[in-house]
Chains A and B, each alone.
Chain A
């Protein structure tokens, strides 16, 4: 496109006023802005001593958990929808026949590689029974790669740890309990 193209609308720069040409008023303006910020309250969170505040835990995407139903059993029905939806292929499920009459299958093992996970929340969206959820735990650390692969027990323990602070999202959002 050329500068003379009729579809180009040219916006003219305003000519500088006297105050702008004299430079000093703008200089003082800039200096007062920086000086104000110099003494203004700081936004830094001193992390280990001070925890960052999570705005809304319901929509925060932190460490995963596997929810339990009212009888304390894992809610998962081993349908593989989360593993299929996962763009990072970090969910590994081994299904077996369920010992309970209310469902066909249940996960014999359920492992998430937290190092591969990109915390996109697609598993949570895919789950038809609201079994997998992302909590607001944000500092996930470990000393080895093996330690960072969370198995079923660990994912259930994350639920036990966070269920009081963060009730199942499905409950508040009208899902199955």
Chain B
């Protein structure tokens, strides 16, 4: 015991925050490079491969590119147009970045460290900034909703039609897709019985069945909704370049634009974290990581590595999808949210709730093994049935072909020029 002991948890939290924010910012910078590489490779180009160590001629496959990109955008003039609402215009990028960074307080980035034996510190030390937070999932979703404010404020304060349209689309899209997102999530919370993300990971590690396999419908609904929440293609309507110039950040430049872009990348990283933690088993990998709470140093870093690898794979999937699919039209976007994803999400929730409710009776009746099989097969049956029903029953969009029958045309004309039509 010494004078430092009472402050140890605070110091530990600060160290974790430093590591996490540093890691995230570096990761965001390098993910931009990865994104550009993927874009280039998919288009049969080579991508950035020139910038290496500054002031030398060594080009490490273009690994110096993030530094050059960052320097360039920071050195650019931070121009504030005269027609903007200055307070909101400045606040918007800060809101969006602060919210997307604060989300990570509740997101575990590994399992636990082995006991350090330092008095005053909780043992074992979890890879989580706020381990005591009982409402981790709620915190994540509350803050990701606040990030929407950044988009809205930016679009509104810019006093620009493109920005405004981008903000409007964004609000409609994000509000619509929060519902399937929440429904996909509820199934997991119900099955794990906790709102803590580390408990959700542990539950999957203990049973060895990732929730993506136990709740396929929930996984798909959550995956699609998180693409929409991160505003990635095919759901990038808020900033559709071909239609809206830059969308809500049309009027931004210099470091404020950088904050927006970093926040956007962090949304994608957050989405990848949530997908991996809630549906793809987090740090768990069969036969590699084990599933107990007691770990060695090697095991702790192995789990960290598995989690990072999974997240990176999901991010690569995000980037690959960007070049595989065209953007949805707005009516198709809304159709998908309200007529497909919402019913599928509810179907998943009902299935999971039913299984969890009757699990004790099933085990009592059939024994533990067959009951587990039933609990696995039933969601898959619901998945296939629901998917086919959604495909067959729901319209893929509004029919917007021109009216071309004579009767329809006459009816239209009588509405416009009533006295010209013979009665």
Hey, which bits of chain A sit against chain B, CB under 8 A? 2-4, 10, 13, 16, 18, 21-24, 27, 30-31, 33-35, 37-44, 46
Contacts and interface: CB of A to CB of B under 8 A. Distances in A.
Given A3-B402, A21-B392, A31-B320, A40 B409 contact: no
Contacts of A4: 404-406, 409
Contacts of A18: 391-392
B391 A21 contact: yes
Contact of A10 (B42, B43, B404): B404
Contact of B45 (A2, A21, A35, A43): A43
A40 B404 CA distance: 46
B41 A2 contact: no
Contacts of A3: 402-404, 409
Contacts of B324: 27, 30-31, 33-34
Interface size class of B (residues with CB under 8 A): 20 to 34
A49 to B, nearest CB: 11
22 contacts: A2-B409, A3-B404, A4-B406, A18-B392, A21-B391, A21-B392, A21-B396, A22-B391, A24-B387, A27-B324, A27-B325, A31-B320, A31-B324, A34-B42, A34-B323, A35-B320, A37-B43, A38-B38, A38-B41, A38-B320, A42-B44, A46-B49
B420 interface: no
B221 to A, nearest CB: 13
B91 interface: no
B320 to A, nearest CB: 6
Contacts of B404: 3-4, 10
Contacts of A27: 324-325
Contacts of B406: 4
A23 B409 CA distance: 35
Interface in B33-49: 38, 41-46, 49
A21 B320 CA distance: 22
A169 to B, nearest CB: 34
A42 B323 contact: no
Interface in B296-343: 320-321, 323-325
Contacts of A34: 42, 320, 323-324
A9 B42 CA distance: 38
Contacts of B41: 37-39, 42
Nearest to A41: B44
Contacts of B43: 37
Contacts of A21: 391-392, 396
Given A38-B320, A46-B46, A22 B402 contact: no
A42 B396 contact: no
Nearest to A40: B44
A95 B30 CA distance: 63
A22 B404 CA distance: 30
A18 B405 CA distance: 29
Contacts of B387: 22, 24
Interface centre among A18, A34, A37 (most CB of B within 10 A): A34
Nearest to A39: B41
Contacts of A16: 396
A41 B44 CA distance: 7
B409 to A, nearest CB: 6
Nearest to A12: B401
A29 to B, nearest CB: 9
Given A27-B324, A37-B42, 12 more contacts: A4-B405, A21-B391, A21-B396, A22-B391, A24-B387, A34-B323, A34-B324, A37-B41, A39-B41, A43-B44, A44-B46, A46-B46
